[in-house]
Chain A
Amino acid sequence: LAKTTQPISMDSYEGQEVNITCSHNNIATNDYITWYQQFPSQGPRFIIQGYKTKVTNEVASLFIPADRKSSTLSLPRVSLSDTAVYYCLVGAYSGNTPLVFGKGTRLSVIA
């Protein structure tokens, strides 16, 4: 499984754009990059996934460069409710070899 590295914590003010970068130098050809969000006292929640270039949904955008050795989760105009832990996972689950959750990035949004 590809190892991921992401910052332990980040702080941001409300209304700002937040970018969380994840390094995954040994990503395999079949691997996808998946991000989860975990609010306090809740289980993690899938927010976005991509293979290459850019993916956007109603929650976030995911930017993946051509070499795929890193990825950046972008949260536009964060609010206090975006305070959570964000996990970057790399892999391709098809019934075996589940993805591994690291320690994640703890994002604190300040008013």
Chain B
Amino acid sequence: DAGVIQSPRHEVTEMGQEVTLRCKPISGHNSLFWYRQTMMRGLELLIYFNNNVPIDDSGMPEDRFSAKMPNASFSTLKIQPSEPRDSAVYFCASSPVPTSGGLNNEQFFGPGTRLTVL
């Protein structure tokens, strides 16, 4: 398996532009997480999906952020309009969750997208 795939790996944009980050989770994983990491705030959970359904988006900083998961193999995180303070590394992670109870604390992270907003 190729692991979690994220694109682009680097994005440089100007303030006010729309940014779309993409993620392909590991096949068969039914939970997907979007994180943001900065030196100041560390690793923050923005939103997570279970079986393509958003479960908790309380970590999304503002209405400028939105995330979708149209199917089990694809998710997007969109920022519109982008601002310099959005500059960070954005990680996508996926995890298999047992369908009949049980737990799984192991998440598989992608390589991240380094976003710079000028």
Bound CA–CA A32/B95 (angstroms): 16
Q: Are B111 and A94 in contact (CB under 8 A)?
A: no
A104: chain B residues at CB < 8 Å are 42
Total residues of chain B contacting the partner, CB 8 A: 28
Total residues of chain A contacting the partner, CB 8 A: 25
Q: Are B45 and A100 in contact (CB under 8 A)?
A: yes
Q: Are B105 and A95 in contact (CB under 8 A)?
A: no
- Taken residue by residue from 36 to 71, chain A's Cβ proximity to chain B (1 for < 8 Å, 0 otherwise) reads as 000001111110010000000000000000000000
Q: Are B104 and A101 in contact (CB under 8 A)?
A: no
B108 to chain A, nearest CB (A): 8
Residues of A near any B CB (own CB < 8 A): 30, 32, 34, 41-46, 49, 87, 89, 91-96, 98-104
Residues of B near any A CB (own CB < 8 A): 4, 31, 33, 35, 42-43, 45, 48, 50, 55-56, 91, 93, 95, 97-98, 101-112
